[in-house]
Each structure stands twice: as structure tokens, then as C-alpha cells.
Amino acid sequence: MSLLRVDNISKSFGGLKAIQNVSISIRPGEIVGLIGPNGAGKTTFFNCITGIYKPDAGTVMFGDYEQEITGLVSYMISWRGMARTFQNIRLFANMSVLENVIVGAHKHIRSSLVDLLFPSKRSYADEMKFVRRAHELLEFFGIDRYANDLASSIPYGSQRRLELARALACEPKLLLLDEPAAGMNPQEKQDLLEHISEIRRQGISILIVEHDMKVIMPLSDKVVVLDHGEKIAEGRPEEIQKNPLVIEAYLGKQ
Ligand SMILES: Nc1ncnc2c1ncn2[C@@H]1O[C@H](COP(=O)(O)OP(=O)(O)OP(=O)(O)O)[C@@H](O)[C@H]1O
Ligand SMILES: [Mg+2]
């Protein structure tokens, strides 16, 4: 049984085939690494799964009952339990750190317009619950001391962690991370490895794009390699490291 099953998706931009017939599956609790040289199509693949782009062909099935989500809009997909972070950090710069996390939990906040106009005990209790949960997530990532600071004012590595906290606030079943360690120093990368392992221990599956093999290899149960939009290899990390096609396409260029 898969949590995510992508079958033969393709996406072109004009004449450029960014993704061609790519299939992958992720089981519950699995960490899958997605690697490949610059421009291989990794981010496009994420965008096709998360509803930012509609794939030209192929299907995406997701959830406990493998329901088709191909071409659904982003918020519908996120509502079903898929959350992501972005290669270029996308935070609400003018909101506080805490507010950024609370926004991530929006699907769980039941408050309606009526609640806003006539606040009830229930809507207040709901909101308090999410404020507490948001603080817990900030504490988990060691950034709760910034809770009331503007998101744009905190250090870069902490902004990366805040993106993760926000993604987790919607209580996803699957978390997609697009280069979460980009720009981090070795200590920050080590912390990130530990956080991702802990997130998996909580039962969340993860698909991670990352250039740093020291992050990908120890973390992943399975690694999928893209090159020029096509899947050229898939296997356990130790197999992938030895695969001549991969060495030629990717590792060899490092
Ligand atoms: N919106 C778009 N319009 C046109 N071309 C695009 C668009 N998005 C991506 N591309 C092209 O598709 C190809 C795949 O890009 P993509 O960003 O998916 O690669 P990537 O593997 O994430 O690369 P990187 O490691 O540099 O992040 C590239 O040639 C890119 O220029
Ligand atoms: Mg990318």
C-alpha cells in the first residue's frame, strides 16, 4: 500500500520536457530522496504533485485509500494531508514567527465568519489550542524565542526551520522538502538531519530534494535520481552511490 503513487507524469514548458514519464511511490513512514543535477526537473516534479502545475499526462494518487489528486488545486491537496517547503523560502515576511505557524494550521481552525463576529467559547478554545501547538512546534525547532519577531528579521537558518514548523502545523501525512539544507552550515545541517528523523518517527512520510549527499544518503530509505526530466535510477542509497549512470549524471560532476 502506498501513501503516494505517481504514475508516468510528464510536464513540458513550450518545447522543453521538464519531466518525462516519471513514476515513484512512497510507503507510509518512508523517507525518499529525490536527487539530480541542476535543472533535472526536481522542483517541477514537486510542483506537479502539490497542485502548483497540472501535469500534461500521468496520475497522482494519495492517501490511505489511494485517491486520485491529479490536477487538484494546491489547497485541496494540502487539506488532504500533503505539506511542503520551498527551495526559495516563502514566509509571510510581515507576520510574526508565531503567526506564520498559525497560518499553516488554518485547515484545523474551525472558526467561521459567525465565530469572528460573535466569538464563542468554542472558537476561542480552538484558537488557544493552535497557539499552544504553534509554540510547541517552534520549541521543537529551537526557535520559540523568536515567536513575536517578524519572520523576515530572524536568522536565515531559523527561517528555514520556521518553514518546516509551518508545514508541520497542518499535520501532514506526507512532507515534501525542496532543498531544506540549502545555505545551512554543517552544524545546522546536522540539526536538520535529527529533526527530519524525529518527524519520521512521528509517522510522517517525507520526500526530500537535496544536493548534499551527506544529508540524503543517511536519511533516505530509497533514492530516486532524475536527469534531464527522466528517472535514471532508483534504489537504496548504497546502490545509488555505486550506480555508474548516476555517477556519470550527477555524482561525477561534484
Ligand atoms: N515555469 C517554468 N517555465 C519554463 N521553464 C521552466 C519552468 N519551471 C522550470 N522550468 C525549466 O524546467 C527544467 C527543470 O527545472 P526544475 O526547476 O524543475 O529543476 P530542478 O531539478 O529543481 O533544478 P535545481 O537543482 O536547480 O533546483 C529547467 O530547464 C527549468 O529551466
Ligand atoms: Mg529545484
> Which ligand approaches the C-alpha of residue 178 most closely?
2
Give the whole-angstrom CA distance, residue 254 versus residue 234. 19
DSSP for 148-167, written as a single string:
TSBGGGS-HHHHHHHHHHHH
Give the chain's mean pLDDT.
Answer: 91
- Does the CB atom of residue 180 touch ligand 1 within 6 A? no
* H-assigned helices in the chain: 42-49, 74-79, 97-104, 113-117, 121-140, 156-169, 186-201, 213-219, 237-242, 244-249
> Which ligand approaches the C-alpha of residue 42 most closely?
1
- Between 254 and 99, where is the model more confident? 99
> What would the mean pLDDT of 195-200 be, rounded to a whole number?
97
pTM of the model: 0.92
pLDDT tens figures, 122-163? 777 777 888 999 999 999 999 999 999 999 999 999 999 999
Position 202 pLDDT exceeds 90: yes
- Does the CB atom of residue 48 touch ligand 1 within 6 A? no
Predicted local confidence at residue 107, as pLDDT = 63
Percentage of residues in the chain having pLDDT higher than 90:
77
Task: Choose one of 20, 34, 43 to mutate for the ligand 1 pocket test, by most ligand atoms within 8 angstroms of C-beta.
Answer: 43
pLDDT tens figures, 35-68? 999 999 999 999 999 999 999 999 999 998 889 9
Domain extents in the chain = 1-81+172-254, 91-169
- Does the CB atom of residue 20 touch ligand 1 within 6 A? no
Confidence of residue 166 (pLDDT cuts 50, 70, 90): very high
Predicted local confidence at residue 66, as pLDDT = 87
Predicted local confidence at residue 137, as pLDDT = 97
Architecture of domain 1-81+172-254: 3-Layer(aba) Sandwich (3.40)
- Does the CB atom of residue 101 touch ligand 1 within 6 A? no
